Amino acid sequence: MRSNGTLRLIDGNRIPLFGLGLYQAEANFWTVRLVKSAISNGYRLFDTAEHYENEYEVGQGIRKSGIPREQVFVTTKVYSTEGGRRHVLDCVRESLMQLMVDYIDLYLIHAPQGGHVLEAYDTLHELRNLGRIRSVGVSNFGIPHLEVIRQTGRPLPVVNQIELHPFCQQRPIVNIVVDMVLY
């Protein structure tokens, strides 16, 4: 596998196979340098979140790298769906401003919490139709959460980002994601 390989998502967009997750990267100049250095070493996917409080530094690192925006894939997330549509609109607007970008490549609902998950999910799809988001996905969703999306006739998320490694294999959710063709 090449480090610059990509995978085609079910919505037709492509996602790099390798990326840098920025959970626990502090909001300081070291994160800016980290992102810039990662780009110079071939990384093209950066995963952050409103909850990580480092979107600004990620955006700075991308800008300072000098690479065209179109060559970088940015993923971020809304932490809670508690405020419904209004909260999601505010979070996406804030993420766009903090990251200093015109669009977000992949926007995820961080977890199925807050009580307004479907409303938030629908709002992300509205923003996708407006070009503010390229792809819509979820994170930490279990089988029942994915089934609700499927059973209500909504577009499937292009990604269900979960913890997965030899000590946490989560075979049931992996099997359903493979069946749904989500990554």
CA-based angle 103:140:80, to the nearest 5?
60
Please give the structure tokens belonging to residue 174. Answer: 């992996």
Q: Virtual CA dihedral for 162, 101, 131, 24, nearest 10 degrees?
A: 10
Instruction: Report the Cα 76 to chain-centroid distance in Å.
Output: 4
Question: Could you please report the per-residue DSSP string of 113-152?
Answer: -SS-HHHHHHHHHHHHHTTSEEEEEEES--HHHHHHHHHT
Question: Could you please report the per-residue DSSP string of 79-97?
Answer: ---TTHHHHHHHHHHHHHH
**Which residues have a catalytic role annotated?**
52
